[in-house]
A and B are shown apart, each in its own frame.
Chain A
């Protein structure tokens, strides 16, 4: 049992990070914290990719002429792209949060919902007119 945990500890870490991230996204009402949760969630995937490319005892895949053992570089390259995507997502998310703050005066989920309920009531007012 312990062996199962230790031998594949990287995956346990991935799963833990993933759950923490998702939990924050779902449970937190603050829009910025949700973005943070999203980041943790994405990071867990980065870890997964990077760790699965690792070969025990391998070095970085640099051609030095010696026939040495090296890690699979492809997942690492892929994850560079994914990190860029993650950064872009975070930047855009935060930009939207800024705009939300300007428009609503708050970045708390429940308060925004309350304001939107009033907006909706305004729409219905128009319906009765």
Chain B
């Protein structure tokens, strides 16, 4: 840790965090051979993860890091700003990438045509770079650029599933249309902000915008940004692109995107809502209470009910994601420290659970080739480790004690109750009880139904089981000892609201 090379690199970690994956994307493309590209992408993912961890550590010890790209000072140049909030998002994104990559080799080999492998990994690296970029940058327009890098590469990651099911193409197309509309709305909002304030730097914006709370143009900018990010994060009823996209994408893409892409959008929404606009009254403050809050509640209940009726496991989990995003938006809508703490916790925790669940489903896809309720029948005995992973992930989704889901739910309910919002606490709990139904549908099929006659299935290979179980164990580990995550989330939430601890 004290090597001179490392200490030379340390100050430039913020830049490396994005530049390394970004530049390695074309290299990955030039490597051509699938296996080599995979190995290269894996190494880069782990490097990014290490960088993110170092950055988190640096932020927690020394406070916010501001890094000027190319040495151009802030109002003119682009600045990277890392505080507790985005440090944790960086760790989520890079961590999930690092865990998913070793898994990808077998899964991608089975689901994506061989001649597209190096392209697939190139798209993955671009997506990773984009996600990291969105999280790290302190410049509003730069957010848009990275958002589009992310989106374009994720359309590719989704349409790569066309080899398995042609519906991946239409899913990717619909996502492309809605995603572009969302991103464009966002950039309109940013343009309007620039028009009023003359700056794109988020820190400068946060100094100028809150004073203009009654400015009409600011209101319009606010509306465009909220709707645009709502589309990107699949806020009900703007979620329609998500179920198909997650269902027909290759398992690796689904696991990676479900655990990271929407989370980053939630982060951007939080950053703009609380740092840039920081509404205290009037139109914008009311939006939280009368638009985001009801939508979040509807998402939690409606999407959970929709999930109950799904026959395809990936689709089931996709609807569950829409519901879980509802939980996150709910915390945002509270607008309180407790609420944001809960959101940030759930951001982290949900990445762990959905990552684990989608990876488990990917294992089933590899061995059975069918991830419907019919396909999982009797798998409890045929693929014990995979199904055990699914069960733990499912329990976490429900919010059973000693899993991360419980921690999230505990803080969400605490946030609701400490504001005296009883009905909301009731909805949160009702929705998590409904989750029992869809998880149990799968459990019963896997453990109490006989497998289709004559089907012989082996357990998934270790290279896929190990990453799955790393996430499963993380679910339990951070569920038993959540002190660290709660601490970071609390610091981050206070940072967002500008409260000095």
Do A and B touch each other in the complex, judged by CB within 8 A? Answer: yes
Could you tell me which A residues sit within 8 Å of B by CB distance?
A: 22, 25, 31, 34, 38, 41-42, 45, 48-49, 52, 74-75, 78, 81-82, 85, 88-89, 92-93, 96-97, 99-100, 103-104, 112, 116, 119, 123-124, 126-127, 129
Rounded to whole angstroms, the CA-CA distance of A18 and B265 in the bound complex is 24
Q: Which of B47-55, B184-192, B268-276, B297-305 contacts A (4 or more CB under 8 A)?
A: B184-192
B167 near A119 with CB under 8 A, answer: yes
A123 near B312 with CB under 8 A, answer: yes
Instruction: Given A25-B181, A88-B152, A116-B167, verify A96-B159 contact (CB < 8 Å).
Output: yes
> Which residues does chain A contribute within 8 Å of B312, judged by CB atoms?
123
> Which residues does chain A contribute within 8 Å of B141, judged by CB atoms?
78, 81
Q: Which of B172-180, B389-397, B480-488 contacts A (4 or more CB under 8 A)?
A: B172-180
30 cross-chain CB contacts under 8 A: A25-B181, A31-B173, A34-B177, A41-B181, A42-B184, A45-B187, A45-B188, A52-B194, A75-B194, A78-B141, A82-B144, A82-B187, A85-B145, A88-B148, A89-B152, A89-B176, A93-B176, A96-B159, A96-B172, A96-B176, A99-B169, A100-B173, A103-B162, A104-B166, A116-B167, A123-B312, A126-B370, A127-B311, A127-B372, A129-B374
Say if the beta carbon of B425 comes within 8 Å of chain A.
no
B184 near A41 with CB under 8 A, answer: yes
Of all chain A residues, the one with the shortest Cβ separation from B172 is A96
Say if the beta carbon of B156 comes within 8 Å of chain A.
yes
Instruction: Given A99-B169, A103-B166, A123-B372, verify A52-B159 contact (CB < 8 Å).
Output: no
> Which residues does chain A contribute within 8 Å of B180, judged by CB atoms?
38, 42, 89, 93
Of all chain B residues, the one with the shortest Cβ separation from A41 is B184
Partner of A123, one of B159, B200, B311: B311
Give the contacts of B180-214 with A (CB-CB under 8 A): 180-181, 184, 187-188, 191, 194-195, 200
Rounded to whole angstroms, the CA-CA distance of A85 and B145 in the bound complex is 8
Say if the beta carbon of B402 comes within 8 Å of chain A.
no
Say if the beta carbon of B348 comes within 8 Å of chain A.
no
> Which residues does chain B contribute within 8 Å of A25, judged by CB atoms?
177, 181
Say if the beta carbon of B400 comes within 8 Å of chain A.
no
> Which residues does chain A contribute within 8 Å of B414, judged by CB atoms?
none
Closest Cβ–Cβ distance, residue B332 to chain A (whole Å): 26
Closest Cβ–Cβ distance, residue B42 to chain A (whole Å): 25
Rounded to whole angstroms, the CA-CA distance of A74 and B191 in the bound complex is 11
A49 near B373 with CB under 8 A, answer: no
Say if the beta carbon of B170 comes within 8 Å of chain A.
yes
Q: Is the interface of B mostly helix, strand, loop or mixed?
A: helix
Rounded to whole angstroms, the CA-CA distance of A75 and B188 in the bound complex is 12
A126 near B184 with CB under 8 A, answer: no
Rounded to whole angstroms, the CA-CA distance of A77 and B177 in the bound complex is 25
Instruction: Given A38-B180, A52-B191, A119-B167, verify A96-B152 contact (CB < 8 Å).
Output: no
Say if the beta carbon of B103 comes within 8 Å of chain A.
no
Rounded to whole angstroms, the CA-CA distance of A42 and B370 in the bound complex is 40
> Which residues does chain B contribute within 8 Å of A93, judged by CB atoms?
173, 176-177, 180
Partner of B155, one of A38, A52, A81, A92: A92
Partner of A38, one of B177, B191, B372: B177
Closest Cβ–Cβ distance, residue B171 to chain A (whole Å): 10
Rounded to whole angstroms, the CA-CA distance of A93 and B148 in the bound complex is 13
Given contacts A45-B187, A103-B169, 6 further A-B pairs with CB under 8 A are A25-B177, A82-B144, A92-B156, A96-B159, A104-B166, A129-B374
Of all chain A residues, the one with the shortest Cβ separation from B194 is A75
Rounded to whole angstroms, the CA-CA distance of A82 and B194 in the bound complex is 15
B195 near A52 with CB under 8 A, answer: yes
Instruction: Given A49-B191, A85-B145, A123-B311, verify A96-B169 contact (CB < 8 Å).
Output: yes
> Which residues does chain B contribute within 8 Å of A104, judged by CB atoms?
166, 169-170
Closest Cβ–Cβ distance, residue B371 to chain A (whole Å): 11
> Which residues does chain A contribute within 8 Å of B159, judged by CB atoms?
96, 99
Closest Cβ–Cβ distance, residue A26 to chain B (whole Å): 9
Partner of B181, one of A22, A75, A81: A22
Rounded to whole angstroms, the CA-CA distance of A28 and B421 in the bound complex is 44
> Which residues does chain B contribute within 8 Å of A92, judged by CB atoms?
152, 155-156, 176
> Which residues does chain B contribute within 8 Å of A42, judged by CB atoms?
180, 184
Closest Cβ–Cβ distance, residue B50 to chain A (whole Å): 30
> Which residues does chain A contribute within 8 Å of B311, judged by CB atoms?
123-124, 127
B194 near A127 with CB under 8 A, answer: no
When A and B form their complex, which 3 residue pairs have the shortest distance between CB atoms, in order from nearest? A103-B166, A85-B148, A100-B169
Rounded to whole angstroms, the CA-CA distance of A92 and B187 in the bound complex is 20
Rounded to whole angstroms, the CA-CA distance of A82 and B156 in the bound complex is 20
Rounded to whole angstroms, the CA-CA distance of A112 and B344 in the bound complex is 40
> Which residues does chain A contribute within 8 Å of B374, judged by CB atoms?
126-127, 129
